Structure 1
Amino acid sequence: MTAQSSREVSERHTIQLLIHGDNDREALEEFLDERHDVVADDTLQPVDCYVVGEQMVPTYRDALREHKKEAHPTFTPVLLIQQEGSRGTVPLPSEQNGNGPPLVDEVVSAPVDRTTLFRRVGNLLARREQSVELSTRYEDVQIRFQRLFDSTNDAIFVVAPSGDEITECNPAACDLVGYSRDELLSISPTQTIHADDRERFRSFLQQVQEAGQGSTDDLTCQTKEGETRQLEVSAATLEDSDQSPIILSARDVTDRKTYARELELKSQAMDKAPVGITITDPNRDDNPMIYVNEGFEALTGYSESESLGRNCRFLQGEATREEPVAEMRKAVEKDEPVSVELRNYRKDGSQFWNRVSIAPVRDDAGTVENYVGFQENVSERKEREMDLQLFKKAVESAGHAVFITDREGTIEYVNPKFEARTGYTREEAVGKTPRIIKSGKQDAAFYDRMWQTILSGEQWNANLINQRKNGELYHVDQTISPIANGDGEITHFVTIESDVTNRRLRKQQLDVLNRVLRHNLRNGTNVIQGRAELLRKSLGDDEHRADVRAIEERADALATLGDKAGTVRSLFENEVSAETATNVTELVSDVVTTVSEEYSTASFDVDDSDPLYVRADSQLKMAVKELLDNAVVHNDQPKPEVTVTTRPSREKQSEQWIDIEIVDNGPGIPDQELETIKQGEETPLQHGTGLGLWIVYWTVSLYGGEVTFVDNSPRGTGVVLNLPRMSADSSVRGTPVEHH
């Protein structure tokens, strides 16, 4: 017995006989019963094989066809017993129209012999065994596919060829859109997939139908809750036909796209940041830069190609201090962040103050992968800080008392001079108001005017009396200046006070002396002059008259001295503006004309020139006249000769200075007088004989000029007044130009 026949014996199949006529049915049953289980029932049963007589086909045709269709792909064979000489009323397998499985799978002619029947039935059952095996495999594949379909993380949608129906979906699809499977299978795909642009989705499906597959990351879906999610979709047709279902595999890439956009935004922000940003690779030799942004290029002048692959130290130079560099190096060695400020150099060699902040970038394991650096130009701030430090040192060392208050008048800072002058320490003064030095000598109206002035943004200048901590009173010249913030709002006040106690006392002394010289001395000399004239007229002796004349001359000299004392006082009472300009050519000419009329015996030579302007006012005329008077009065020649020249300076820069030179033919100024003026001070042993030259010296000095004396040997004196030059158009700029 073969293996096949053994299997057939051991595995009996069920065969249903659908035969017309009891005798024929019983004969076939007897044949088949040896090897198979035979069912002889008029009702169609689920069996392994059907043996059908030709006469019974019309009765069972539809039922057999439906049964075979339902069992497909499992092969359910039908064996037709056809009467000999039949005209073929039943289509044979080769005659089937191709719609579904054939009704008849094998045909035998009656009468049927046992061998032929067994062989034909055995072949059909063997085919059935194979189909069962294949069907089992197919079912197993289906199960596995279903498991894969259900367990995949991507959302799977099967869309009908029309694109209007979802025919299948997996749990991930339900999770993605928030609908249940039944809900998804009952709605149109465009209600959730790219619901904001349905035609776009349909166009994508059409492209997939035409190409057989496609992909896009430009679709979205709308969840049941109304949330929009961005999708990455791969699609393919399930069949090779124009109207094939389409399977869509969708992945939610909302977070990824958001991250990508954030990353792009951060990248753009880094590239366009107003500070320099660098990234270095510590795993490469010398920790070179692997990224620089545009801000770094703009800050340093080095392009990206010139910077990459180099360590940042190439920005250092001669003025770079070692301390911040060492601090950075130490931080890098310890994998720690650090911020320092140091001088760096641009490509063009210019220096800038660079605030460098570097920090390690670590991976998930904590290993340093990179260093990110930020480079900021802080030159302006550093310069302000240095200026502030310089200013603070200057204020700390100033000879004036300085204190700063807030807008309400609370003291926030005092300098050492304030402490020394008032007797209050910094700790005692800060937090208080300036009332601590208030003397009570100023009334309430004085302070009302002060607050009204400074709160309006204007500077306050006043002279007042303060009181020290020990009760002493002292006079100050006070200046209060408002300090505003960037918005123009006044936030603080700075007060500078000069102690003018001694100056006021000297002024009082000068006022008294001036009164004595100008009033008392003048009255006294007037009396002496009057009485001397009466005495001279009453005397007949020439010798006595000469004595009286000497008295009159001395009285005249004392009267003149009193007048000059008043002139000195006026010099120091009137300040000259830095922009006051005078036509010195015209001024000198006017003075020479006046003096020529007074001294008719003298000769005056004026070297005329183009109009020249100097920083001076009308008091310069008094100094020039004083020199011309001296050149004539103290001249011992029969005919005094005086030359006056006005020209650009020969000793200093001619475009900035003007000289007035006065030369005479007299005996010259006494050496002691010259030395006193040159030294700028008088002593008990060395002093002048009058005020004339001092008046000249003080006048020119107040203009910022200088008086020099020229040796005019063998006779005469040369005096040069050197004065700051002004432009001819000063009056056009609003500067008063005085003509005398």
Structure 2
Amino acid sequence: MTGETQTTPKTRVLALVSSPGNRRVLVDWIRNASAYSLVSPPEEDVERLPAFDVCLVDRSGLQRSAEAIRRSQRGERTFLPCLLVEERGRSLEGLGPSLRSLIDDVVTAPINPDRLQFRIDTLARRRHLSEELWDAEERYRRLFELAPNAKLLVEDGEIESTNRAAEQFFQRESASLSGVPLERFVAAADRAPLRRLLENAPAEVAVDGPLFRTVNFEVGDRTAICEVAAVRTGEGDELLVLVQDATERIERERRLELYRRAMDEAAIGVTITDPGLPDNPIIYVNEKFGEITGYDRQEALGRNCRFLQGERTDEASVARLRRAIDAEEPVSEILVNHRRDGEPFYNALDVMPVTDASGTVTNFLGFQRDVTEWVRNRRRLSVLDRVLRHNVRNRMNVVTGYAEQLIEHDDPAVRTAAERILDAGEDLLGQSETARHFRDVVSDESATETRDLVVDVFDAIEEIRSGYPDVPVHTSLPNEAPIRGDQGVPLAVVETVENAVEHGEPPVIVRIDPGPDETRLSVTDRGEGIPEQEHTVFGDAEERPTSHAGGVGLWLVRWTVERIGGRIEYSDEDGTTVELYFSTAADESNVDR
């Protein structure tokens, strides 16, 4: 057998024997014994003895060194024995209770070496066992004190002591918790279950750990959802009670369950994929996904989403999706997918990356919406729009052409009617053309950018003055006014100023007031105001066909401004004022001029 052998440390023996004969015999015997090491006796009248495991002392030595022995025993954390060498036939009663309390065993003289060795070894073993017990208790104390969860020693339902975590949980120091019934901190409905838990506490912990029960604690002004377990310590009726504050975890689990149910019951298809697995497969689909595609959950799980593609799927859309996913960026596409039975459908797909706390993409979340009917209706409306615009333009050109001929009629009544017809026709053609311009800009889906509102106002005024040279337009403008807008802003500005020039009373005043968050464009004239039936454009109500009254110009302005996050307001307290509010651009260095 090989390996290191563990040597047992020698027992340190201190000899405080005053009798010269006994002292000489004992010292020689200790020195010759391999299991012991002799501790040199102290000088006379010392206050503290040197370190030892067993002290040999006779009556004279005991009387002389009693205080030093007592001081050593009190200062020692474990059992520190004292062996009295006593003359045969002498009684210990003569020592008195104070000295007798220092003695743990007696050996009589003349000394029998075997008996002496037995006494010393027995006392040394007791001391060694007491050190092991103290070490175990100290480890338990440190574990109890430093445990991250609240731990309490409870007897007869009252708290005896707590660790630091319990002090933090109860928001009180351990001393103020001592003697307080544990039930005082428990919600009324949970007190009876807690009592049963404590009454049935086991003497030993099961292999798979203690049995925890959920208990609501009321600590201060908050309710904590806790998991509680109890086990008997073996010290009478004392219990070790463990309290784990599970409020955050349980609330987190409830939120996750809520999110799961929300996704399961969502009105759109939801998928989650795992790019950490080969081919980025689907690991979750909700019921709506199955309704849209015809594939049940088991058929979809483990497959890449491309299984929905088919012969009518646009390769350009697929390429954009792949580039965005490879770049770990969000992406939205409308593409043709195919149901389980092969039927094509238009899928409005939104894909976004999901990251962990470190910013690493762990999953992709996908939303699917069947927009087949929406695409079809949009195409139908587009065709209808082209037909109507073509017919309106052609028919109204015929109407205005005849009206121009009738203006030369000899009958004044006919001329008056012809002029009204011509004005109405030209107004309708103008509105149609305005709507077409706005439609072209809005359908272009141009990106919002930083642009100078002052430049847009100057361009609008220059365009309007060519058609209304006799109407004075005054301005109050800063050097520049950077806003966030798109290509629809110039059309909104032209329509607003032209409406004041055409229908209001001069002069028309155009003013720009930049602010830290919003920039205001106000257009004021001295007219009687916008007809009341058109005031709905400035309210919060949803527009209806009957709301547009005589024209669509202001509605088009509102739609354009709201599309970029702005708003429109109106006032007729001092003339007629229409105000457009735009988001002020934070960075003025990239103004589009």
Identify the TM-score tier after normalising by the shorter chain: 0.5 to 0.7
Q: Which amino acid in 1 is paired with 2:493?
A: V
Q: Could you tell me which residue of structure 2 aligns to residue 641 of structure 1?
A: 507
**Aligned equivalent of 1:398, options 258, 266, 277:** 266
Q: Could you tell me which residue of structure 2 aligns to residue 139 of structure 1?
A: none
Q: Could you tell me which residue of structure 1 aligns to residue 197 of structure 2?
A: 331
Q: Could you tell me which residue of structure 1 aligns to residue 167 of structure 2?
A: 297
**Aligned equivalent of 2:242, options 358, 374, 379:** 374
Q: What is the TM-score with the length of structure 1 in the denominator?
A: 0.56
Looking at structure 2, the residues matched to 363 and 660 of structure 1 have their Cα atoms a distance apart, in angstroms, of: 83
Q: How does 1:12-31 map to 2 (within 5 A)?
A: none
Paired residues, number: 507
Q: Which amino acid in 2 is paired with 1:479?
A: D
Q: Is this contact kept in 2: 1:514–1:565, CA < 8 A?
A: no
Q: How does 1:510-549 map to 2 (within 5 A)?
A: 511-512=382-383
CA deviations 1:321-365 (Å, max 9, x no partner) are: x5555532442354475421536434xx4x36442313131539x
Q: Could you tell me which residue of structure 1 aligns to residue 578 of structure 2?
A: 719
Q: Could you tell me which residue of structure 2 aligns to residue 133 of structure 1?
A: none
**Aligned equivalent of 2:553, options 687, 692, 695:** 692
> Post-superposition shift, 1:432?
5.7
Taking a change above 3 Å as real, the CA distance of residues 216 and 208 of structure 1, as seen in their structure-2 partners, is farther
> Post-superposition shift, 1:389?
3.5
Q: Could you tell me which residue of structure 1 aligns to residue 587 of structure 2?
A: 731
Q: Which amino acid in 2 is paired with 1:625?
A: V
Taking a change above 3 Å as real, the CA distance of residues 711 and 327 of structure 1, as seen in their structure-2 partners, is farther
Q: Is this contact kept in 2: 1:328–1:338, CA < 8 A?
A: no
Looking at structure 2, the residues matched to 342 and 557 of structure 1 have their Cα atoms a distance apart, in angstroms, of: 72
Helix, strand or coil for the counterpart of 2:237? strand
Taking a change above 3 Å as real, the CA distance of residues 433 and 609 of structure 1, as seen in their structure-2 partners, is closer
Looking at structure 2, the residues matched to 738 and 556 of structure 1 have their Cα atoms a distance apart, in angstroms, of: 36
Taking a change above 3 Å as real, the CA distance of residues 450 and 256 of structure 1, as seen in their structure-2 partners, is farther
Looking at structure 2, the residues matched to 468 and 328 of structure 1 have their Cα atoms a distance apart, in angstroms, of: 56
Query: Cα RMSD over matched residues?
Result: 5.0
Looking at structure 2, the residues matched to 555 and 371 of structure 1 have their Cα atoms a distance apart, in angstroms, of: 95
Looking at structure 2, the residues matched to 260 and 399 of structure 1 have their Cα atoms a distance apart, in angstroms, of: 66
**Aligned equivalent of 1:619, options 468, 471, 488:** 488
Q: What is the TM-score with the length of structure 2 in the denominator?
A: 0.67
CA deviations 1:566-605 (Å, max 9, x no partner) are: 422422442665xx55565675466446544653222334
Q: Is this contact kept in 2: 1:163–1:205, CA < 8 A?
A: no
> Post-superposition shift, 1:626?
0.5
Helix, strand or coil for the counterpart of 2:291? helix
Gaps of 5+ in 2: 1-10, 16-21, 55-77, 88-110, 203-210
Q: How does 1:159-198 map to 2 (within 5 A)?
A: 161=24, 166=29, 188-189=32-33, 192-193=35-36
Q: Which amino acid in 2 is paired with 1:358?
A: A
The alignment status of 1:631 with 2:500, answered yes or no, reads: yes
Q: How does 1:57-76 map to 2 (within 5 A)?
A: none
Q: How does 1:535-574 map to 2 (within 5 A)?
A: 554=425, 558=429, 561-562=432-433, 564-574=435-445
> Post-superposition shift, 1:607?
4.6
> Post-superposition shift, 1:205?
4.3
Taking a change above 3 Å as real, the CA distance of residues 485 and 675 of structure 1, as seen in their structure-2 partners, is closer
Q: Could you tell me which residue of structure 1 aligns to residue 216 of structure 2?
A: 342
The alignment status of 1:418 with 2:289, answered yes or no, reads: yes
Q: Which amino acid in 1 is paired with 2:216?
A: L
Looking at structure 2, the residues matched to 452 and 655 of structure 1 have their Cα atoms a distance apart, in angstroms, of: 38
Q: Which moved more, 1:566-575 or 1:621-630?
A: 566-575
**Aligned equivalent of 1:669, options 530, 537, 545:** 530
CA deviations 1:239-277 (Å, max 9, x no partner) are: 9xxxx9995613235554334223212211221222221
Taking a change above 3 Å as real, the CA distance of residues 657 and 379 of structure 1, as seen in their structure-2 partners, is farther
Q: Which amino acid in 2 is paired with 1:261?
A: D
Looking at structure 1, the residues matched to 591 and 184 of structure 2 have their Cα atoms a distance apart, in angstroms, of: 62
Helix, strand or coil for the counterpart of 1:417? helix
> Post-superposition shift, 1:294?
1.1
Helix, strand or coil for the counterpart of 2:176? helix
Q: How does 1:228-247 map to 2 (within 5 A)?
A: 234=82
Taking a change above 3 Å as real, the CA distance of residues 571 and 601 of structure 1, as seen in their structure-2 partners, is same
Q: Is this contact kept in 2: 1:603–1:642, CA < 8 A?
A: yes
The alignment status of 1:359 with 2:230, answered yes or no, reads: yes
Taking a change above 3 Å as real, the CA distance of residues 393 and 254 of structure 1, as seen in their structure-2 partners, is same
Q: How does 1:87-236 map to 2 (within 5 A)?
A: 161=24, 166=29, 188-189=32-33, 192-193=35-36, 201-202=37-38, 204-207=39-42, 234=82
Taking a change above 3 Å as real, the CA distance of residues 384 and 682 of structure 1, as seen in their structure-2 partners, is same
Q: Could you tell me which residue of structure 2 aligns to residue 701 of structure 1?
A: 562
Q: Is this contact kept in 2: 1:525–1:558, CA < 8 A?
A: no
The alignment status of 1:478 with 2:329, answered yes or no, reads: no
Q: Could you tell me which residue of structure 1 aligns to residue 6 of structure 2?
A: none
Taking a change above 3 Å as real, the CA distance of residues 710 and 449 of structure 1, as seen in their structure-2 partners, is closer
Helix, strand or coil for the counterpart of 1:372? strand
**Aligned equivalent of 1:680, options 542, 551, 554:** 542
Taking a change above 3 Å as real, the CA distance of residues 259 and 613 of structure 1, as seen in their structure-2 partners, is farther
Looking at structure 1, the residues matched to 468 and 316 of structure 2 have their Cα atoms a distance apart, in angstroms, of: 57
Taking a change above 3 Å as real, the CA distance of residues 720 and 156 of structure 1, as seen in their structure-2 partners, is closer
Q: Is this contact kept in 2: 1:647–1:659, CA < 8 A?
A: yes
Q: Is this contact kept in 1: 2:393–2:429, CA < 8 A?
A: no
Looking at structure 2, the residues matched to 611 and 302 of structure 1 have their Cα atoms a distance apart, in angstroms, of: 63
Q: Which amino acid in 2 is paired with 1:719?
A: V
> Post-superposition shift, 1:710?
2.9
Looking at structure 2, the residues matched to 619 and 541 of structure 1 have their Cα atoms a distance apart, in angstroms, of: 43
The alignment status of 1:604 with 2:473, answered yes or no, reads: yes
